[in-house]
Amino acid sequence: MAILAIAALLIGAGLFAAPSVSQAGTISCIQVSNTSAVGGTGIGTYTGNFGGGASCTGTNTIWSSASPIVIPVGGTLVLTQNPGTLTGAAAYNFDTSDFGTGAGSNYKISINGGTAIADASILNFGGVDDSGLNTNESRNWTVIATNVPCGPGGELCTVATGYADNLHGPSGVCADAPDRNCFPNGGGGAFTNVAFGNPIFIGGGAALLAGFPGQPGSCTATSGNSCFDAGAILIFEQARVPEPSSLLLLGVGIMAMAAYGGGLLRKNS
């Protein structure tokens, strides 16, 4: 009975010391930018202000809301072009590759004003966009950072980037191997797959631009606002694990129980 009491006490204390897994990622500001692209196409700057107020600065805010975006544990936030009422070329307002050629063009992403994370040259198409109508830029998700602070309670997130492109040709040929559906893994409106669940998707398609080949079945003259030529950012709220102090407490408890049990065995022998 004494052993059970000690076990209950230690397990309860361990649970109290461990961080709560019910807290969710809270995103108030996203800043995406590169430096001056020498010999290239200039500076790309994009901002998402989700209740971040004046502290979330940027000259090109394309995502916004009055309150923060809350990502549940195991859920994702996906950001891409977000035309709203924009039409024509202006609707493709997260075409990061167009402002991503030349030296210094790799993008960096900052979440809630934190340390900027370097992209893996996905958003800038490797810095070599040739603006060709038949240069398809689609790329599947690439994880660029893990354990990124993403909330006031010590929440941590994984950040990935990809590229959605069903506007460029060649017709019927997408560059995102191996699935080749012109979108980051999984395709469809949420740009996700089984590795990243329950997406909160902020963005939308646009109409086919004159002169562009598009892709059969997903971006045509009659498909409506279904075309993309845009970078994409995925933020995944990681499940949290107990802190080292909690694991240490549990280990000490097990050792104490073993010692107590050993003492009883010696007394009764």
What is the pTM for the complete model shown? 0.81
Q: Tell me, yes or no, whether 48 lies in a domain.
A: yes
Name the residue among 92, 99, 91, 86 with its Cα closest to residue 125.
99
And the tokens for 151? 């909330």
Q: How confident is the model at residue 100 (pLDDT cuts 50, 70, 90)?
A: confident
CB 34 within 8 A of CB 98: no
Domain of 167 in residue numbering reads as 23-245
Name the residue among 67, 61, 62 with its Cα closest to residue 83.
62
Distance, CA of 38 to CA of 25 (rounded, Å) = 36
Q: Tell me, yes or no, whether 178 lies in a domain.
A: yes
Residue in this structure with the two tokens 């210094």, named with its chain if needed: 104
Q: Tell me, yes or no, whether 4 lies in a domain.
A: no
| Residue 127 pLDDT > 60 | yes
Q: Tell me, yes or no, whether 266 lies in a domain.
A: no
Residues 6+ apart with CB under 8 A from 51: 28, 65, 66, 67, 68
Q: How confident is the model at residue 39 (pLDDT cuts 50, 70, 90)?
A: low
Return the pLDDT at 251.
Answer: 47
Q: Tell me, yes or no, whether 132 lies in a domain.
A: yes
Q: Tell me, yes or no, whether 267 lies in a domain.
A: no
Q: Tell me, yes or no, whether 195 lies in a domain.
A: yes
Number of domains the chain contains: 1
122-126, 191-195, 223-227, 236-240: least confidently modelled range:
191-195
Paired with 79 in beta bridges are 202, 233
Q: Tell me, yes or no, whether 192 lies in a domain.
A: yes
| Residue 187 pLDDT > 80 | no
| Digit-coded pLDDT (tens) for 54-68 | 889 877 999 999 999
